[in-house]
Amino acid sequence: MRNSEIKALFEKAEEQIQVDEIRKQETYNMMLETMEKQRTPMMSTKNILLHQIWYMDKVFFIIYGVILSLDKVLCHFCPYSCIIST
Mean pLDDT of the chain: 80
pLDDT tens for each residue of 27-40: 888 888 887 777 76
**For the chain, what's the residue count?**
86
Q: What is the domain extent for residue 49?
A: 45-81
Residue 10 has pLDDT above 90, yes or no: no
pLDDT exceeds 90 at position 66: yes
**Residue 63 placed within a domain:** yes
Q: Does pLDDT of 86 surpass 60?
A: no
Q: Could you tell me the pLDDT band of residue 63, with boundaries at 50, 70 and 90? A: very high
Alpha-helical (H) ranges within the chain are 3-16, 21-38, 45-55, 59-77
Distance between CA atoms of residues 19 and 56, nearest Å: 56
Over residues 72-82, the mean pLDDT reads 77
Residues 28 and 49 in one domain: no
Question: Are 10 and 34 members of one domain?
Answer: yes
